[in-house]
Amino acid sequence: FFKSCQPPPAEKQKQSIQEVRRSLPIFPYREDLLAAIREHQILVIEGETGSGKTTQIPQYLLEDGYTEGGMKIGCTQPRRVAAMSVAARVAQEMSVKLGNEVGYSIRFEDCTSERTILKYMTDGMLLREFLTEPDLASYSVIIIDEAHERTLHTDILFGLIKDIARFRPDLKVLVASATLDTERFSCFFDDAPVFRIPGRRFPVDIYYTKAPEADYLEACVVSVLQIHVTQPAGDVLVFLTGQEEIEACCELLQERCRRLGSKISELLVLPIYANLPSDMQAKIFNPTPPGARKVVVATNIAETSLTIDGIIYVIDPGFCKQKSYNARTGMESLIVTPCSRASANQRAGRAGRVAAGKCFRLYTAWAFKHEMEETTVPEIQRTNLGNVVLLLKSLGINDLIHFDFMDPPPHETLVLALEQLYALGALNHLGELTKVQKNYKCSEEILTIAAMLSVNNSIFYRPKDKVVHADNARMNFVVPGGDHIVLLNVYTQWVESGYSTQWCFENFIQFRSMKRARDVRDQLEGLMDRIEVELCSCNGESAVTAGYFYNTARLSKGGYKTVKHQQTVYVHPNSSLFEEQPRWMIYHELVFTTKEFMRQVWSRPSLCSSF
Ligand code: ADP
Ligand code: MG
C-alpha cells in the first residue's frame, strides 16, 4: 500500500524543486514585481545574493506571458560559468532539456535553438547581438544581471540599451544587482524606480587576524583544517584569486587530510574557477553527505554570481586578481591586489544565508579600514579599449567621446585605442571604419594562430612532478621564428595525429585547450566564409608584422626596449626565443607578473630591414 502511494522519483524531485522555488526570498514579491515591471519600462532590482533574481525573474516573466508571439527573454551574466550554471539550473527547474526552451550563449559555445525563449548569455555575447539585430527586436525583456560587477561589456550595454529603450517602448529593461550601487543605476537610467527584495540574512561574526599573514595560501589551509576539527557542522567557502592558487590550495588540503587519515571526518575539497570543466563545476552544488564537510575553493565568482547552499564559514584572504591598464605604455597587467571593502562584505555575507555564520578575514581590522578601497574601480577605467571601440564603430557609433557612459573611460585610453586602430588601417582619418582586408594570402595559418592565442596560454601541460619531461616535449615543437610558429606547429601536428587525445597526452599538450582552439578556429572560419574572405595558405610572416608592428621591441642591455615608449621589457622564460635573444621582436602582449614580460614573441631576420 505504501509503495503504491509514493510518487515516482521524478515526480517527487519536481515537487521538491517547486518547493525550493517557493521558499526563495523573492517569491513573496512575485506579484508586486510583475506589477512594477508592467508599469515601468526600466526597473532596477536590488536583492541579496541568493534571493532568486537570476533563476526566478525570467521564469516569472515567462509565466506572465512575456514570451508570447515567439519573443525571447534575455539575461546577461558577466561570467561564462554563471551563464552556463544558471541556465542548467533553470532548465532543471522547468523540467526541460538545456538548449531547448532554456539555453545559454557564451563565446564559442552556443547552447540555444530556435525553441529557446529564456536565454542566458555573457554580457559580451549580447553586445555582439547588436551587430545582427541593432534594436534587439526578438527580445521582449532584457535583464542586465550582476550590474554591480561593472564589467566593461556591462557598462557598454548600459549605454546601448538606454538608447534603444527610447525607440522601443515595448522593450522591458531590468537592471539587477546585489545590494550595491543601485541608486547610481537608477540615476543613470533617468531615475528608474528601484525594486528592493528584502533579504533573509543571518548574522555573521567577523574575525580578523592580529597581524598580517605572510603566506595567505598556507593560512587558508590551516584555517580550513582548524574549522574542520573544532567547529560544528557546516560547509566552508574559501576565496582565492585564480586557478593556480586554487589548485595548490586543494592539493595541500587533500595531502594534509590524507596524513591525518581517520583522525578526522571526511572533508570534500571542491575547486571552482572559470576554466574548470563543467561537470566538475556542477559538483559544488551537490549536497554534502551526512557526517562530512564540504570546502569550496573559489575565485570571486562565488562572491555574487553563484550561490552555494549550506555555507556557514567563509575564509577571505582579502585579495583578487585585477586587470589594470596603463594607457601611456599600453601595458595591461593582471595583478593580485587587495579586494575592495564592498567585495569583502559580499564575501562575508555568503556565510549567513542558511544560518548564523562566521567569516575569517586573513588580514587585520586596520588593513580593512585603511588599506582597502571602498569599491572596485569599474573595468572600463582600467582596460584597453581597442576591441570595444571597433565594436561601437561597427554599430555606427562614431562619436565615442559623447557616448553615454555611466563612468567614462580615461580620455587618453580612448585616444590611444583610436590611434592604434588608425595605425592598423581599421579606421580612416575621419575615424570611420574602413574595409581593410590585409591580403597576405595566409588566412589559414593566421586563423590557427589566432585560435591558439585565444586559449590563454593553456596549451602546454607542465605538472610539477614531470617538469623535465614536459619541458623536453615542449622543446620538440620549437621551430625558428618564435612562439606564434610554435603554436602553429603544435596545431598542425595535432591535426595530423587525427585530433588525437593520446597524442596530446604523450606530448604534454592539454587536450581540452586544443579542442577549444579547434572550436574557435571553426567559428572564425565560418565568419570568414560569411564575409567571403578566401581561405588560402602560404606563410603568415608579413601578416603578423602588419598587424602587430605596434608591438615592436629592440634588444638593449640584457632586456628589450619597446619602440613606441622606450620601455624596458623582457622575453618571457616560457618563450621559444628566451635563449636566442634576437635583435628585434614583435610581441603579442605585455604582461606584468614578476616583471614586464613580452608574451608570445615573434622574430625574423627580415624584421631588421623593415625598420
Ligand atoms: P540571485 O541571482 O538572487 O543571487 P539565484 O537565482 O542565483 O539568486 O539563486 C537562487 C537559489 O537557487 C539559490 O539560493 C540556490 O538555492 C538555487 N540555485 C541556484 N543555482 C543553482 C544550481 N546550479 N544548483 C542548485 N541550486 C541552485
Ligand atoms: Mg544572480
Instruction: State the pLDDT at residue 605.
Output: 53
Q: Is 481 helix (H, G, I), strand (E, B) or coil?
A: coil
Q: Number of helices (H) and strands (E), helices first, in the chain?
A: 23, 21
Question: Per-residue pLDDT averaged across 243-247, rounded?
Answer: 91
pLDDT tens-digit readout, 480-493: 888 999 999 999 99
Q: Residue 300: CB within 6 Å of ligand 1?
A: no
Residue 59 near ligand 1, beta carbon < 6 Å: no
Over the stretch 349-406, which tens digit does the pLDDT of each residue have? 999 988 999 999 999 999 999 999 999 999 999 998 988 899 899 888 888 888 999 9
* Ligand 1 pocket: which of 19, 53, 55, 98 to mutate (most atoms within 8 A of CB): 55
Collect all residues with Cβ–Cβ distance below 8 Å to 408 and sequence separation of at least 6.
380
Question: Which protein residue's CA is at the shortest distance from atom 16 of ligand 1?
Answer: 309
Within 8 A by CB and 6+ apart from 108, the residues are 516, 519, 520, 523
Ligand 1 atom index nearest CA of 304: 4
364-to-243, 360, 477 alpha-carbon distances in Å: 25, 10, 48
Centroid of ligand 1 to alpha carbon of 307 (angstroms) = 5
Point out the ligand nearest to the CA of residue 86.
1
How many C-beta atoms lie closer than 10 Å to residue 275's C-beta? 15
Distance 83 CA to ligand 2 centre (A): 10
pLDDT of residue 537: 76
Ligand 1 atom, smallest distance to 306 CA: 7
Question: Where would I find the H helices in 168-300?
Answer: 182-188, 216-230, 243-260, 278-282
Distance in Å, CA 174 to ligand 2 centroid? 13
pLDDT tens column, 109-129: 899 999 999 999 999 999 999
Atom 19 of ligand 1, residue of closest alpha carbon: 307
Q: ipTM value of the model? A: 0.98
Q: Is 85 in the pocket of ligand 1 (CB under 6 A)?
A: yes
- Residue for grid cell 561597427: 394
Spatial distance between the Cα atoms of 346 and 298, rounded to a whole number of angstroms: 14
- In the reported structure, the alpha carbon of residue 77 is separated from the centroid of ligand 1 by a whole-number distance in angstroms of 14
pLDDT reading at 432 higher than 80: yes
- Of the CA atoms within 13 Å of residue 422, those in its CB half-sphere come to 11
Using the predicted structure, report yes or no on whether residue 9 has a pLDDT greater than 80. Answer: no
Residue 76 Cα, ligand 2 centroid: separation in angstroms? Answer: 10
Q: What is the pLDDT of residues 179-195, one digit of tens each?
A: 777 899 999 999 999 99
Q: Please state at what angle helix 123-132 crosses helix 152-167, rounded to 10 degrees.
A: 40
Task: State the Cα–Cα distance between residues 361 and 586, nearest whole angstrom.
Answer: 44
The predicted pLDDT at position 542 comes to 67
What is the pLDDT at residue 265?
93
Whose C-alpha lies nearest to ligand 1, atom 21?
A: 89
Q: What SS3 class is residue 321?
A: strand
CA of 146, closest atom in ligand 1: 2
303-351 pLDDT, tens digit per residue, is: 988 889 899 999 999 999 988 887 777 777 778 899 999 999 999 999 9
Atom 22, ligand 1: which residue's CA is nearest?
A: 89
